[in-house]
Amino acid sequence: MKGEFLSEKTKAVLWKVVLEYREKRKMALLRNNLEYENFREELYQIKKKAISEIESLKKKAISALKENGINVFEAKDVKEAREIIEKLAEGKTKIIKSKSNVFNEIEEEGFLTDKELTETDLGDFICQIMGEKESHPVLPAIHLTPEEIAKKIKEKFNVDLESKPEKIANFVRNLLREKISQSEIGISGANAITSDGKILILENEGNISLVSKWPQTHIIVSGFEKIVENLESALKIVKASAIWGTGQDFPVYVSIISGPSKTADIQNQVVIGAQGAREVNLILIDNGRTKLLKEGFEELLYCINCGACLNFCPVFHQIGRNYGSKYLGSKGIIFAGFSESFKKAVDSNCFSCTSCMACYQNCPVKINLPELMKKLRGYLEKENLQTGVNKEMIENIREFGNPFGKTEEGKIPKRLYCC
């Protein structure tokens, strides 16, 4: 196992969140009259069909988006994605950003450092000022207590705050309003894209609405796997993201963007750029996704990033973000294997997965992550990239027919391995 274990305090907070989440999700499904397995199957079929037709859906989507006035770029890797963003941001300095897992793929030291980049998601903003990495895709600052956050705010902004979530949220809201009003570019992700050219972004805080509408330029970064056939399918994904992500019936806000802001209020002459973004850019990134498709890991592209699998992962509950890479958990490790390197998958604790199946049972799109993890380990074995312990076990199996080595009848083996 690489990296440190979570503190007992963080483990206790995580466990409390999981217990509350379970109950909320159950109630949300009940309220919506949705049967757990039926809804999962429906979602699985939507994503399965979309990914099996992804090339033609992508072509259709790009053409429809362009027709609507959205600039569409395709980036084969993070380097290309960074170059596109840097070009779009030329001459501009003030950028606001909302939560985006795909942007996390692109981000690295030195990228956009000549700009003032402000996180507008409360959890991400807290992580930014604390100099911490996010610890959960939906609840990035879950590992931090209100006391720790209030202390940092005092240090950084010289403001005495009561260490209560509502006081912190209110302080950050006022602080961010100023940044948002001066921003020139807004960067966000996308939750779903339809083949007829609509981009869906969901949120609770209202910050994404501002990021996508206040600045003149909106840049959306997304993996191409977000494309689905139609709005009906996209809205099912939005609903599932809310139920499985936070146990809500539906997100507080859903933006459906189909082009730059426009008006024809004066003499019916179309003017681009009324109150929303004048320029909308979509960057569709590959970064290993085509490799996943080619190597038979297409199920990983069904992921809607709800984070439910992490809530139930026994390994994540012990080592937190040490279990994963740019994305957390088993999904993150498998993705790292194909978007970064196999070595990265090993360093992200690929061999710590227990194959308990809790992620699979709790995934709204029924991704069999343990099975994909086993498959990935096969690749690592071929590349001779197992851990030392793993190599020892393999040797023992070859030599003694069991992973423990030489055993004596009636005695417990000297070493009971753990990766």
Sheet holding 192-194, edge to edge: 227-228, 192-194, 199-203, 253-257
Smallest distance, ligand SF4 to C-beta of residue 159, A: 36
Among 150, 306, 345, 385, which residue sits at the site for ligand SF4 (rule: CB under 6 A)?
306
Among 308, 333, 350, 380, which residue sits at the site for ligand SF4 (rule: CB under 6 A)?
308
Q: Which of residues 4-63 bind ligand SF4 (CB under 6 A)?
A: none
Smallest distance, ligand SF4 to C-beta of residue 340, A: 18
Among 307, 324, 332, 337, which residue sits at the site for ligand SF4 (rule: CB under 6 A)?
307
Distance, in Å, from the CA atom of 107 to the CA atom of 326, rounded to the nearest integer, reads 9
Q: What is the radius of gyration, based on Cα positions, of the chain?
A: 23
Distance, in Å, from the CA atom of 407 to the CA atom of 62, rounded to the nearest integer, reads 62
Among 309, 334, 336, 345, which residue sits at the site for ligand SF4 (rule: CB under 6 A)?
309
Q: Which stretch binds ligand SF4 (CB under 6 A): 8-16, 63-71, 297-305, 343-351?
A: 297-305
Q: What is the dihedral of CA 307, 308, 309, 311, to 10 degrees?
A: 100
Q: Which amino acid, 126? A: I
Q: Say how many residues touch ligand SF4, by CB under 6 A.
A: 12
Q: How many CB atoms lie within 10 A of CB 129?
A: 17
CA 285 to each of CA 108, 152, 221: distance values in angstroms, whole numbers, following the listed order:
16, 35, 7
Smallest distance, ligand SF4 to C-beta of residue 240, A: 8
User: Smaller CB distance to ligand SF4: residue 217 or 311?
Assistant: 311
Q: Which of residues 352-381 bind ligand SF4 (CB under 6 A)?
A: 363-365, 367
**Length of the chain counted residue by residue:** 419
Encoded tokens for 74:
């395709």
Report the sign of the C-alpha dihedral through residues 226, 230, 231, 234, in that order.
negative
Residues 85 and 187 sit within 8 Å (Cβ to Cβ):
yes
Smallest distance, ligand SF4 to C-beta of residue 230, A: 20
Distance, in Å, from the CA atom of 198 to the CA atom of 374, rounded to the nearest integer, reads 36
Distance, in Å, from the CA atom of 141 to the CA atom of 123, rounded to the nearest integer, reads 5
Residues 348 and 419 sit within 8 Å (Cβ to Cβ):
no
Encoded tokens for 344:
């990265």
Among 84, 304, 336, 380, which residue sits at the site for ligand SF4 (rule: CB under 6 A)?
304
Smallest distance, ligand SF4 to C-beta of residue 293, A: 16
Q: Which of residues 318-337 bind ligand SF4 (CB under 6 A)?
A: 331
Q: Which stretch binds ligand SF4 (CB under 6 A): 126-134, 201-209, 273-281, 300-308?
A: 300-308
Smallest distance, ligand SF4 to C-beta of residue 138, A: 9
Smallest distance, ligand SF4 to C-beta of residue 191, A: 12
User: Smaller CB distance to ligand SF4: residue 13 or 303?
Assistant: 303
Q: Which residues bind ligand SF4 (CB under 6 A)?
A: 303-309, 331, 363-365, 367
